[in-house]
Amino acid sequence: MSITEAQKKQLDEQGCIVIPDVLSDEEIEMYREDILRIAEEEKQSGSALRHSNDHGQHVRWLPNKGEIYDKLVAHPKVMPFFEHLLGPDYTLSTLTSNIIDPGAPDGGYHVDNVLGGMPEPLPSFPLVANSLWLLDDFTPENGGTRHVPGIHLQQIKPPAGTTQHPDEVRLSASKGSVFLFNGAIWHSAGANKTDRQRVALICFCCRSYIKPMFDFVHFLKPEALERATPIMRRLYGFDSQPRPPD
Ligand SMILES: O=C(O)CCC(=O)C(=O)O
């Protein structure tokens, strides 16, 4: 699998792209069912990470929650897009998911970790890149991700509390596709005005010299590490660690 020159240009200029047909219908159904099952279990056990005024939930640390999530870590249809933005030695920062419940309001605009904590101007090249793996068709009505194409070129962050932008787009894309974007694109989940949950898997990556958000090196379960190929180990960060004493 590869990335075309036109796709590279779109990522450079717009900062975002939809990669079609990454997941099969069977995979979509399997992942959606499993994420909703884990979300319910986490609610019952009191460990749920609820958000959006209790109208949304994150299920995080997916590699530790099932072998089925291994496939997302080094997916051949998606890796070339991350490599274009972050270089050939990029690493995984998080592997998580986002459920937007009916009634959820628009989220607040943000850029992704680590950019939110950096001074402006933000770097002129991508440090982090995010990808949403759509387990439902995304529409402007059901929480389709709001984003501002091209704003990464301005190297600015949304002022705290920003909820609108004149150039905003609400993502419309088919389930099974992946919406991949430069982390400097202002974005947020949209309001869900339908009666069905909107579900996405999220694979968030960074350059090898950026500190990832999740410490896979120390907290990946032994069985998940055992299943990892050399490329997956690199993505989990094992090849980009600070050195131990001589
Ligand atoms: O779920 C969405 O539509 C947006 C997710 C998001 O804002 C993020 O991963 O930073």
CATH of the domain at 43: 2.60.120.620
Contact 41, 75 (CB under 8 A): no
- Identify which of 115, 85, 97 has the alpha carbon closest to the alpha carbon of residue 203: 97
* Cβ–ligand 1 contact at 112 (below 6 Å): yes
Residues of the domain holding 61 = 5-235
Residue 150 lies in a domain: yes
* Segment 122-181, tens digit of pLDDT: 999 999 999 999 999 999 999 999 999 999 999 999 999 999 999 999 999 999 999 999
Residue 241 lies in a domain: no
Provide the number of structural domains found in the chain.
Answer: 1
Q: Which of 58, 98, 106, 147 is the best mutation target for the ligand 1 pocket, counting ligand atoms within 8 Å of the beta carbon and taking the most? A: 98
Q: Which two tokens stand for residue 122?
A: 């933000």
Percentage of the chain exceeding pLDDT 90: 100
Q: In angstroms, rounded to a whole number, what is the distance separating the alpha carbons of residues 235 and 90?
A: 7
202 Cα–ligand 1 center, Å: 8
**First and final CA of the chain: distance in angstroms?**
41
- What integer best gives the mean pLDDT of the chain? 98
Q: In angstroms, rounded to a whole number, what is the distance separating the alpha carbons of residues 51 and 131?
A: 19
3-state SS assignment for residue 70? helix
* Segment 211-220, tens digit of pLDDT: 999 999 999 9
Residue 85 lies in a domain: yes
Residue 246 lies in a domain: no
118 Cα–ligand 1 center, Å: 19
Burial of 26 (0-12, 13-18, 19+ CB in 10 A): exposed
246 Cα–ligand 1 center, Å: 42
| Residue having the nearest C-alpha atom to atom 4 of ligand 1 | 189
Burial of 233 (0-12, 13-18, 19+ CB in 10 A): middle
Report pTM: 0.98
| Residue having the nearest C-alpha atom to atom 3 of ligand 1 | 189
* Cβ–ligand 1 contact at 197 (below 6 Å): no
Angle between helix 5-13 and helix 79-86 axes, rounded to 10 deg = 50
**What is the atom index within ligand 1 of the atom nearest the CA of 112?**
10
Residue 242 lies in a domain: no
Residue 240 lies in a domain: no
Sequential pLDDT tens for the chain (246 residues) = 799 999 999 999 999 999 999 999 999 999 999 999 999 999 999 999 999 999 999 999 999 999 999 999 999 999 999 999 999 999 999 999 999 999 999 999 999 999 999 999 999 999 999 999 999 999 999 999 999 999 999 999 999 999 999 999 999 999 999 999 999 999 999 999 999 999 999 999 999 999 999 999 999 999 999 999 999 999 999 999 999 999
C-alpha atoms less than 13 angstroms from C-alpha of 193 in its C-beta half-sphere: 6
- Identify which of 176, 89, 68, 77 has the alpha carbon closest to the alpha carbon of residue 132: 176
Looking at residue 1, what is its pLDDT?
78
Residue 130 lies in a domain: yes
CA-to-CA separations, 50 to 3, 54, 57, 154, in angstroms, rounded? 36, 6, 4, 32
Residue 243 lies in a domain: no
